[in-house]
Amino acid sequence: MHTTAARALTGQDYKTLSLAALGGALEFYDFIIFVFFANAIGQLFFPPEMPDWLRTLQTFGIFAAGYVVRPLGGIVMAHFGDLLGRKRMFTLSILLMSVPTLAIGLLPTYAGIGLAAPILLLLMRVLQGAAVGGEVPGAWVFVSEHVPARHTGYACGVLTAGLTVGILLGSLVATALNTAYTPAEVADGAWRIPFLLGGVFGLGSMYLRRWLHETPVFAELQQRKALAAEMPLKAVLRGHRAGVIVSMLLTWMLSACIVVVILMTPALLQKIYHVAPRTSLLANTVATIGLALGCIVFGALSDRLGSRPVLLAGSLVLAACIWVFYTTLRTQPELLLPLYGLTGFFVGVVGAVPRVLVLAFPPQVRFSGLSFSYNLSYAIFGGLTPVLVTLLLKNDPLGPAYYVIAICGVGMLTALFVRPRKD
């Protein structure tokens, strides 16, 4: 098979990786930009007489709806990806994300159409959630089946770094917009700009993806008429339950580390350590860049050394880093940037996770197995993590550190059950 050939990465491989990572970055930007403008959206899409707490609750409820439908969207798109082709679903996912993002930027507000405004907003968010549920697993499968097998970890690490850049891009755009416009101007219409940009860029990325080719693995399965003979998810649940369990546990580690260290820590720095908002956001930018680099480094190391030793060693070092980070800041706040950057880099150990997920399932049901495991785990543990961390904080300001260290332990134990698969 093409992917098992012992060859170096070619120009076509790098082109595929670049287009896939670019599309992933823009799609993740489209998915998360909502949260940066939640306050303005809440004021505009709900009745003005509504209590502020209820408006905030409903706004974040609409944001959370995108996570709730991720498993369903991922399973449906993966089903057809295993039967009709990776490229078709890979292209469909970015279209399904770009159009709703563009539509949000054009939606009338409550003042214009009343209750139809939040209902349409919810519908667009549901479509976004379905799209991202197919994009991430689909992208990992797509790039891993294009490159030589000995570069699977590197390819998945580059793709994961692209998703991370999408989060960074959203943060930078939100910061720039809030710097250029007053809060009144943002509410008056400037909030639409990032959604319109995201929609246009996403459609442009979809156009670029038309130059990508179907993966050699799927093409060969199709030629040999070796595609799944039954519903792919049924085959996964019957014959690959161990792969599902390992994949879900490692996805728990991936989601928890990113949610706590990258997404929640800036707010915790301001609340617990009284760090200025601007300083905490700057430090978070450094950590996010470190995460992107770490994903590539640890993904490449998993190719050379194997996923098990990389996950074992990387998780151990990450646990040590997160402990040093949270215990040092109270007495040495001047070390915030280097410590946060270093911790972000070692969170990049999650860049070795996609290689395990990809190799946990045979090609015939790979998309369905990966998508089901990843999205179900993300929906459960991604949603529970903020709640658990908040409960831990009630008793100890080091609660986030304890949680991440425990999750690193889960990752290390799960790594012991990782077995290499030869396609």
State how far the Cα of 241 lies from the Cα of 360, in Å rounded to an integer.
10
Residues 244 and 178 in one domain: no
Residues 206 and 340 in one domain: no
Residues 172 and 156 in one domain: yes
Pick from 227, 262, 295: which residue ends a domain? Answer: 227
State how far the Cα of 236 lies from the Cα of 242, in Å rounded to an integer.
10
In a domain, 418, yes or no: yes
In a domain, 269, yes or no: yes
Pick from 189, 209, 227: which residue ends a domain? Answer: 227
Please tell me the predicted confidence (pLDDT) of residue 345. Answer: 97
In a domain, 325, yes or no: yes
In a domain, 378, yes or no: yes
Nearest Cα to Cα of residue 186 among 366, 42, 5: 42
Residues 422 and 295 in one domain: yes
φ/ψ of residue 114, rounded to 5: 70, -140
Please tell me the predicted confidence (pLDDT) of residue 222. Answer: 55
Residues 89 and 197 in one domain: yes
In a domain, 5, yes or no: no
Residues 235 and 282 in one domain: yes
In a domain, 136, yes or no: yes
Residues 319 and 180 in one domain: no
pLDDT mean for each 10 residues of the chain (423 residues) = 59 78 81 80 86 77 76 76 69 83 93 91 88 80 84 91 88 84 88 92 76 63 53 81 93 90 82 80 89 95 94 96 92 90 96 93 85 87 79 85 95 88 43
Residues 222 and 249 in one domain: no
CATH number of the domain at 138, please: 1.20.1250.20
Residues 222 and 235 in one domain: no
Pick from 227, 248, 277: which residue ends a domain? Answer: 227
3-state secondary structure 170-215: HHHHHHHHHHHCCHHHHHHHHCHHHHHHHHHHHHHHHHHHCCCCCC
State how far the Cα of 224 lies from the Cα of 276, in Å rounded to an integer.
61
CB 200 within 8 A of CB 99: no
Please tell me the predicted confidence (pLDDT) of residue 219. Answer: 63
Residues 64 and 199 in one domain: yes
- The DSSP letter of residue 10 is -
Residues 159 and 223 in one domain: yes
Residues 211 and 248 in one domain: no
The token duo for 34 is 């909502």
State the residue range of the domain holding 27.
Answer: 10-227
Domain count for the chain, please give it: 2
State how far the Cα of 349 lies from the Cα of 253, in Å rounded to an integer.
10
3-state secondary structure 219-282: HHHHHCCCCCCCCHHHHHHHHCHHHHHHHHHHHHHHHHHHHHHHHHHHHHHHHHCCCCHHHHHH
Please tell me the predicted confidence (pLDDT) of residue 215. Answer: 63
In a domain, 353, yes or no: yes
In a domain, 4, yes or no: no
Please tell me the predicted confidence (pLDDT) of residue 113. Answer: 92
